[in-house]
A and B are shown apart, each in its own frame.
Chain A
Amino acid sequence: MSIFEYQFMQNAILTALLGGVACGSIGVFVVLMHMPFIGVCMSHAAFAGALLGLWLGFNPLIGAFVFSLLAAAVVGPLADRGELSPETSVGVIFSLMLGLAFLFMGVMPGTKSGALELLWGSILTNTRGDVILLALVAVLVVGLIVAFYKEIQATIFHRGMALSVGIPATAILYGILFLTGATITASLRSVGGILIFSLILNPAAAAYQLTYSMKRMFLFAAGFGVLSGWMGLLFSYLFNIPSGATIVVTSSVIFLLAAVFSPKRRVKGWQAKPLAEAGHD
């Protein structure tokens, strides 16, 4: 029987595809809007929220979603108004969320296997329900990016300028944070609370090295996200090593290769090209 005929492997392959697309696309916002600090806080908050759910007996994914949005609601406006530097926000919220996560884990009765699964992730134990949730989130993320591409593009470029031409840039920003929370929540069980942010950041950071077109950056980031998931899954299967960690290490290797071979490192040479050849639409 081929490995692909097992349902757990089919679920894992679909999870890698859908999670890669959703995480990679969300990562473009994180990279271009310079908000990795918000993403880090949200992903660790999701982990803490999921553990609270496990401890109190409600659906961990609801806890993850609520906590990640709460973190965004606290950190975003504070950083936005310049009342806290991003570094301070990360320091305070990140450590608080990790502290809460380990507190919930500590007071949780019985075995900690569920908690550890959320910590490290386990793509091979995903159910068809997990895949459907991720599919819904991926369709929502891609659909909203396509529908509101021009508003998103303007908000990413400069939020104040987008506001000044009559684009609802604040609503777009909160929409992006909502999608980030949903993506983190839906991918949490597969990649794990500690590692999920790498799968958001690395594919987009790699795509950022390779193109001056925002549309291509979204496509490359989603592609690298899927590639990280599938290659990580393959290595995990071949070498019998943890899947979540392997996926994240693979995404980091893709980033390193993109950074080394980035055409953006040769700005002078790029500028010397004829304009028709250099341009992107």
Chain B
Amino acid sequence: MSETIIDIKNAVVSYRENVALQGVSLRVKAGEFVGIIGPNGAGKTTLLTVVNGLGRLLSGQVKVLGHRLVPGNGRSLRKKVGYVAQVQNIDPRMPMNVREVVMIGRYGRLGLLSRPGGRDWEVVDEMLELVGMSHLARRPIGHLSGGEQQRVAIARCLAQEPELFLLDEPTASLDWKAQTDILELVREVHEARTLTTLFVTHDLGCLPVACDRVVLMKAGQIWGEGRPADLLTSENLSHLYDMPVAEVEKRRAENIPV
């Protein structure tokens, strides 16, 4: 039986007066692929920041990869956790090339005052090859399209040699082709590297088919969890998105994002 590597108990997080997570509990086992879905403002991103130690817990307990998180001790954990955010608005004139950006993934592991060596550059080149970006390795990062930038972000994450792979709306604002390419790449990476993956999205159409389990979030709480086929019913989605069942069914039939 797989080991539990994420164990969140009654986590409460708030930003000033806004409570982003209200007593959330979640357990994830090694090797699982968990999709987290819910409307905007549901607390999905906050849940990821709790997992990688960047979120500030008001109360509750979080244990990830054996680290019991308390304020200020998340840095050593984050070296083992890969995080891909939404497409970033990168300055087109930023003086860094693709290879250098992927190398940032190695920096946390290298530690302060040490320089990347030949082995680190080998890992970087290997990851660029894996995500199909070797041909653009020396391009300035700001010259890439959104889809290419997300591939670079995934390569940077993998260069980190993470045990846990967190993706926060990685396909948001990408076109259909780039979305499907990224979803396929995430699936391949999850399987080839035997990672534990948490994939956040607000768009049902972007939920990877590889998900073992889906967590539904609404208003800072986990509203349901289970196998995708059991959980993603029109009734549940109707509750989740405050939308009549007939409207949900119509949108699903027409493949319009819920």
Contact = CB atoms under 8 A, between A and B. Distances in A.
Interface of A: 32, 34, 147-148, 150-151, 153-154, 157-158, 160-168, 208, 211-214, 216-217, 264, 267, 271, 275-276, 278-281
Contacts of A158: 88, 90
B143 A267 contact: yes
B112 A264 contact: no
22 contacts: A32-B91, A147-B113, A148-B112, A153-B96, A157-B96, A158-B90, A161-B156, A164-B81, A164-B83, A165-B79, A165-B107, A166-B108, A166-B109, A167-B108, A168-B112, A208-B93, A214-B95, A264-B93, A271-B143, A275-B137, A279-B138, A280-B97
B130 interface: no
Contacts of A160: 85
Interface residues of B, number: 42
Given A154-B107, A166-B76, A32 B95 contact: yes
Interface string B120-137: 000000000000000111
A168 B76 CA distance: 10
Given A150-B110, A213-B95, A278 B139 contact: yes
Interface in B90-116: 90-97, 99-101, 104-105, 107-110, 112-113, 115-116
A163 B85 contact: no
**Of residues B52, B81, B92, B97, which shows the largest number of chain A Cβ atoms within 10 Å of its Cβ?**
B97
B210 interface: no
**Of residues A161, A213, A264, A278, which shows the largest number of chain B Cβ atoms within 10 Å of its Cβ?**
A161
A267 B116 CA distance: 30
A281 B52 CA distance: 31
Contacts of A214: 95-96, 100
A211 B95 contact: yes
Contacts of B97: 212-213, 279-281
Interface in B70-95: 75-79, 81, 83, 85, 88, 90-95
B88 A163 contact: no
B50 to A, nearest CB: 13
A165 B95 contact: no
B201 interface: no
B88 to A, nearest CB: 6
A163 B160 contact: no
Contacts of A279: 97, 137-139
Contacts of A161: 83, 85, 88, 104, 156
B205 to A, nearest CB: 26
Contacts of B76: 166
B23 interface: no
Contacts of B93: 208, 212, 264
B143 A165 contact: no
B75 A166 contact: yes
Contacts of A216: 95
Given A211-B95, A214-B100, A278-B139, 12 more contacts: A32-B94, A150-B107, A153-B96, A165-B79, A165-B107, A165-B108, A168-B112, A212-B95, A212-B96, A212-B97, A216-B95, A280-B97
Contacts of A150: 104, 107, 110, 115-116
A153 B107 CA distance: 10
B67 to A, nearest CB: 12
Contact of B78 (A163, A212, A217, A275): A163
B39 interface: no
Contacts of B81: 164
Contacts of A154: 104, 107
B135 A164 contact: no
A213 B95 CA distance: 5
B79 A267 contact: no
A157 B152 CA distance: 14
Across chains A and B, which 5 residue pairs bring their CB atoms closest together, nearest first?
A279-B138, A166-B108, A166-B79, A165-B108, A164-B83
B228 interface: no
B54 A275 contact: no
A86 to B, nearest CB: 15
B112 A151 contact: yes
B140 interface: yes
A62 B88 CA distance: 40
A212 B90 CA distance: 13
Contact of B139 (A168, A275, A281): A275
A165 B112 contact: no
Contacts of B54: 163-164
A157 B104 contact: yes
